[in-house]
Chains A and B, each alone.
Chain A
Amino acid sequence: MPLNRRRGGSPWTGLGTVVAKETADHLSSARMRILEALVFLTALAAAYAAIRAIRATIGESPFLFLRLLTLSQDPLPSFIALLGFLIPLVAIALAFDSVNGEFNRRTMSRILAQPIYRDALLLGKFFAGLLALTIGLVSLWLLVLGLGLLLLGLPPSTEEFLRMLGFLVATIAYGGVWLALALLFSVIFRAPATAALAALGVWLLFALFWSVITPLLATVIAGPPEGVFGPRLAYLNTQQIIDRISPNTLYAETALALLHPATRALGPVLISQLQGALLGAPLPVSQSFILIWPQLTGLIAATIVIFAIAYVVFQRQEIRA
C-alpha cells in the first residue's frame, strides 16, 4: 500500500519550549561558566593591553576603538585573534553532546513521545546554543566597549560603532559554523567524547594545518606559485579559493576588512586596480560591508549546510532510547 508521507501539524510546535529549556541549561551549566570565564579573562586582558599601547601612541589613528580589538601587545595576541581561536572551542563545548546526550540519558524517546517533531528538537538545540553564545559575545562586546570608554576617555564614532557591530555579527556567524559542526558530530557519534574529538580535529585542521595544506593543494591544481614574470595569478586565485573553505579564513578576512578600514581588497590586487586609489585612506563603512559580504554569507551558508546535513542524519535515525 503506498504511504502518504504528508505530516499534519507544524514542525515548529514546541520549538520555543526546547529553546528556553536548552538555553537555561547552557547558561546555568558549570561548563558554560568556565568557558565564559576563560574567554572573558583572556579577551579583556588583550583589550586592556591594547589600551595601554594605544594610550602611548594616541593620535596615530582616527579609529582608536578599532585598534582596541586589533592591536596585539606581547605576550598576548590581539582581541580578534583570541576570539578567532576561542570561539570554536566554546561552540564545540556547547553542542558536542547535545543530541547523543539525549540518547545516553535515555531521554530522547521520552521527549519525542511528546507532540513535537524532531525538527523542533534539533533546531531548538541549535538556536539555544547560538543564543547562549550570542549572550556571551554581546556581554563581552559591551564590556570591551565600556572598558574603552573608561580607559580611553573617548566615545566610539558612529563608524567605529557600526564596524564593531558588524564584527559582532560576523563573530556570531563564525560561532554558528562550529556550533552546527559540533551538533552534526553529536548526531553522528553516539559517544560524546568521539563527537568532541571529531569536532576538535576539524578545528585543529583549519586552525593549524590549513595554511600548510593550502599551498600544496594550490600547487597540485594550478602549478607552481612563481612564473617567469613573478607570482602567478592562477596560483594565487586557486590558493585563495582553497583557503576560503576554512571558516577561520572567512572570519579573519571579515575581521580584517571591518576593523582595518584601510583594507581595500581581500584578494590579489593588480596594479591596474590601484590606479587612482588613495593608499592608506580608510574605506567608508558601507564599502567595507560590501567587501565582507561574500565572507559573511559564506559563514552563514556553511552553518546552514552543516545544519542541514545534521538534520537529514537525525531524521533517519532510529529512536529507541
Chain B
Amino acid sequence: MADEVVIRAEGLTKRYADTLAVDHIDLEVRAGEIVGILGPNGSGKTTTILMLLGLTEPTGGRAEVAGFDPLREPLEVKRRVGYLPDQVGFYDGLSARDNLAYTARLAGLSRAEIDQRFADALDRVGLGDVGRARVSTYSQGMRQRLGLAEVLMKRPSVAILDEPTTALDPHSTQEFLQMIRGLKADGTAVLLSSHHLDQVQSVCDRVALFNRGRIALSGSVTDLAGRVLGGGHVIDVEARGPGMVDRLAAIPGVVRVQPLGGDRYRVDCQRDLRAEIARELAPKVDLLGIDFAAPSLNEVYNRYFEEQRHAAQ
C-alpha cells in the first residue's frame, strides 16, 4: 500500500552517558518513498539508523519499522529491512555467492530461494559475471554493489542505505542512484543517509536535516528552500552593468543576492519576481537572461548551518 507508514519514530532518544546523541526525533517514511537523512558527522544519523534496526536500544521514545517495534521485536524488523552500512565489508576469502548465501541463510531463506534470488540480484547490480569470484578481487565500488545485491535478495519492505555512494566513481554513482530508484519502483521505502547533497536531491522525495541529535528541518527540497532561503523562488539573472548586486537587492521581495561569477547572479525571492527584475534592469543595464533556478539542497544546507553558526556567535 503506497500510503502505508513503514517507519515511524516518536520522540526517539538515545543518550550515551552525558551525551545526547539523538534528541526526541519524530520521523515518518511511507512505502515507496525515498527519504534522505542529512547532517554533519555526529549529528545522530547513524545512531537513529541503528535504533531503527534494533542494533542499539533507545533510551526514550518509540519506533515502529514495518509494523514492528525494533526494541521488542528486532528479529521481525530485521527480516523486513535491508541494510547497507557505510563502507560495507565482506569475507574476502569467500566468493560473492557464499557471502550472500551466508546472510541469506541467516535471514531464513531456503536454498532454493537463495539460488533463485542470487542470480537476479547480481544481475540487477551488474555483477552477474563475477558472482563466483572471491570478494578479495572486488573493488570498493563492486563491494558497494554487492551490498545492494544483499539488500535486494532480502526483498525488504524497508531499505536503509548509509553512505552508499562514498567509494563510487561518478558513472557508478549514477548507476547506483538508478538502482535506488528501482527499489522505490518496487514499493520499498528507502532511508538514505548521505553527505552528497546533489545525489540526495536527485533521488529523494523528502529530506530530514539532522543537527545536534534533532531533526532541524524536514520536507521536500522546495519546502526546505522556502523555509531556509527566505522564499521558495530562486531566480538566476544574467546581466552586464554597474552595481548589479545593489540594484537587485533593492527590488522589493528580494531576500538575498549571490554573485555566481561573470555576469551571473542568483536571487532568492519571496515570490516570482521575474517581471519586476526585468522591469528594473532592462532600461539601465544589458539584461542577457532571466530564469528560475531549481532550489539547491546544497544551498539550503549551507545556509542553514551558516545561520546556526551566526546564531551561536
Contact in complex: B75, A320 (CB < 8 Å):
no
Q: Give B198-226 as 1s and 0s: 1 = Cβ < 8 Å from A's Cβ atoms.
A: 00000000000000000000000000000
Task: Kindly list chain B residues whose C-beta atoms are within 8 Å of the C-beta of A115.
Answer: 74-76, 78-79, 106-108
Q: Give A246-285 as 1s and 0s: 1 = Cβ < 8 Å from B's Cβ atoms.
A: 0000000000000000000000000000000000000000
User: Does chain B have a CB within 8 A of A9?
Assistant: yes
Given A4-B71, A14-B106, A320-B50: A106 and B76 interface contact (C-beta under 8 Å)? no
Q: A4's contact among B72, B83, B90, B150, by CB below 8 Å, is which?
A: B72
Q: A109's contact among B60, B74, B83, by CB below 8 Å, is which?
A: B83
Which of B51-59, B187-195, B276-284 forms part of the interface with chain A? B51-59
Given A111-B103, A117-B74: A3 and B58 interface contact (C-beta under 8 Å)? yes
State in angstroms the CA–CA spacing of A117 and B73 once bound together: 11
User: Does chain A have a CB within 8 A of B87?
Assistant: yes
Given A114-B106, A115-B107: A106 and B75 interface contact (C-beta under 8 Å)? no
Contact in complex: B50, A107 (CB < 8 Å):
no
Given A3-B57, A13-B75: A106 and B106 interface contact (C-beta under 8 Å)? no
Task: Kindly list chain A residues whose C-beta atoms are within 8 Å of the C-beta of B91.
Answer: 25, 105, 107
B1-47 CB contacts (< 8 Å) to partner A:
11, 46
User: Does chain A have a CB within 8 A of B147?
Assistant: yes
Task: Kindly list chain A residues whose C-beta atoms are within 8 Å of the C-beta of B62.
Answer: 1
User: Does chain B have a CB within 8 A of A112?
Assistant: yes
State in angstroms the CA–CA spacing of A124 and B116 once bound together: 27
User: Does chain B have a CB within 8 A of A116?
Assistant: yes
Given A8-B72, A14-B106, A320-B50: A109 and B85 interface contact (C-beta under 8 Å)? yes
Q: B85's contact among A3, A8, A14, A106, by CB below 8 Å, is which?
A: A106
Q: Give A140-174 as 1s and 0s: 1 = Cβ < 8 Å from B's Cβ atoms.
A: 00000000000000000000000000000000000
Task: Kindly list chain A residues whose C-beta atoms are within 8 Å of the C-beta of B88.
Answer: 106, 110
Q: Give B97-116 as 1s and 0s: 1 = Cβ < 8 Å from A's Cβ atoms.
A: 00000110111100000000
Nearest opposing residue in chain B for A108, CB measure = B89
Nearest opposing residue in chain A for B150, CB measure = A110
Contact in complex: B87, A113 (CB < 8 Å):
no
Task: Kindly list chain B residues whose C-beta atoms are within 8 Å of the C-beta of A111.
Answer: 103, 106
State in angstroms the CA–CA spacing of A4 and B60 once bound together: 11
A1-39 CB contacts (< 8 Å) to partner B:
1, 3-9, 13-14, 17-18, 21, 25
User: Does chain A have a CB within 8 A of B81?
Assistant: yes
Nearest opposing residue in chain B for A11, CB measure = B75
User: Does chain A have a CB within 8 A of B241?
Assistant: no
User: Does chain B have a CB within 8 A of A319?
Assistant: yes
Contact in complex: A17, B106 (CB < 8 Å):
yes
State in angstroms the CA–CA spacing of A114 and B11 once bound together: 26
User: Does chain A have a CB within 8 A of B252?
Assistant: no
Nearest opposing residue in chain B for A113, CB measure = B83
Report the count of interface residues on A (CB-CB < 8 A).
30
Task: Kindly list chain A residues whose C-beta atoms are within 8 Å of the C-beta of B78.
Answer: 113-116
State in angstroms the CA–CA spacing of A318 and B107 once bound together: 22
State in angstroms the CA–CA spacing of A154 and B84 once bound together: 62
State in angstroms the CA–CA spacing of A107 and B102 once bound together: 12
Contact in complex: B147, A112 (CB < 8 Å):
no
Task: Kindly list chain A residues whose C-beta atoms are within 8 Å of the C-beta of B58.
Answer: 3
B250 nearest CB across to chain A (Å): 52
Contact in complex: A320, B46 (CB < 8 Å):
yes
Nearest opposing residue in chain A for B154, CB measure = A114
Nearest opposing residue in chain B for A13, CB measure = B75
State in angstroms the CA–CA spacing of A9 and B76 once bound together: 8
Nearest opposing residue in chain A for B83, CB measure = A113
Q: B89's contact among A6, A13, A17, A106, by CB below 8 Å, is which?
A: A106
State in angstroms the CA–CA spacing of A114 and B103 once bound together: 7
Given A3-B71, A105-B90: A113 and B85 interface contact (C-beta under 8 Å)? yes
Interface core residue of A9, A110, A111, A116 (most chain B CB under 10 Å): A110
Given A3-B57, A14-B106: A117 and B75 interface contact (C-beta under 8 Å)? yes
A2 nearest CB across to chain B (Å): 10
A128 nearest CB across to chain B (Å): 13
Given A115-B106, A116-B106: A110 and B89 interface contact (C-beta under 8 Å)? yes
Nearest opposing residue in chain A for B13, CB measure = A1
Task: Kindly list chain B residues whose C-beta atoms are within 8 Å of the C-beta of A117.
Answer: 74-75
Contact in complex: A110, B83 (CB < 8 Å):
yes
A31 nearest CB across to chain B (Å): 11
Task: Kindly list chain A residues whose C-beta atoms are within 8 Å of the C-beta of B108.
Answer: 115
Nearest opposing residue in chain B for A109, CB measure = B85
State in angstroms the CA–CA spacing of A1 and B11 once bound together: 10
Interface core residue of A4, A8, A114 (most chain B CB under 10 Å): A114
Besides the known contacts A107-B89, A110-B89, 9 further A-B residue pairs in the complex with CB atoms under 8 A apart = A1-B60, A3-B59, A3-B60, A9-B73, A107-B90, A107-B91, A111-B106, A117-B74, A318-B50
* Interface CB pairs A-B, < 8 A, 6: A7-B74, A14-B106, A106-B89, A114-B106, A114-B107, A319-B56
In the A-B complex, the 7 residue pairs with the smallest Cβ-Cβ separation, listed nearest first, are A106-B89, A9-B75, A114-B106, A113-B83, A115-B78, A8-B73, A115-B75
